[in-house]
Amino acid sequence: MQTRATIAVGTLLVVTVGCTTSPNGKLNANKNRVPKFNEATNAGEKEALKGIMTDDFTRYSAATASPSVSSREDIIRLQKVLLGSFPDQHVEFEKMVTDGDLVAVVATYSGTQTGTMGNFPATGKTPRSPFLAMFRIESGRSTERWVEWNNVSMLRQLNLFPP
C-alpha cells in the first residue's frame, strides 16, 4: 500500500515521500524507535541515548549550525546545554512518516527558559515552536538527524527579537 501526505508548517511546505507497508515490519520498527530518542531527550537520560544512537551519530541543522554534532557524545553535550537553558523541555511528535530507513516528523518544542541561551539571558518565558526533523535508522539505532525550525518565532516568543 502506498500513501502520500503533504504537511504544511508555517510558510514551509514539506511533501513527504511515499510510505510502503513492509512485510517484515521494518518501517513500523523504525517509526517506533524515533519516539525513544524523543523520550530520552525530554528526560535528559544520557544512558538511554547511548543505547538508541550510533557512536558516530550526526545532527544537521542550519538553524543551529553550531555547535556541530558528529558523535553520540556531541549530542549528549548539546542536550546538557539545552536542558541548562530549558530544564523542562518537552518535544511532542504530531506526525511521523517512514520511508525505508528514514523517519520524518513534525513536532513541537516547548520549555521554560530559566537559564541563559548563548548570549541571551533567561526570560522565564515558555515558547512553543514547531519544527521538522528526519532521522535515519541503521541497524535499529539512530545514526543521523536533520532538524529545522523558525528561530525568529522562538526568539519573539522569548521577547528577544528584535534585539
What is the residue-averaged pLDDT of the chain? 84
Contact between residue 114 and residue 86 where contact means Cβ atoms under 8 Å apart: yes
Q: For Cα atoms 98, 99, 105, give the angle at the middle one, nearest 5 degrees.
A: 35
pLDDT in tens, 89-145: 999 999 999 999 999 999 999 999 999 998 899 999 999 999 999 999 999 999 999
Confidence of residue 153 (pLDDT cuts 50, 70, 90): very high
Q: Choose which CATH entry (3.30.470.10, 3.10.450.50, 3.30.70.1230, 3.40.50.150) describes domain 2-157.
A: 3.10.450.50
Residue ranges per domain, the chain? 2-157
- Looking at this protein, which amino acid is placed at residue 26? K
pLDDT value, residue 51: 87
Q: What pTM was estimated for this model as a whole?
A: 0.79
For the sheet with 53-60, list strands across it: 53-60, 141-149, 128-138, 102-110, 90-99
Output the pLDDT for position 17.
38
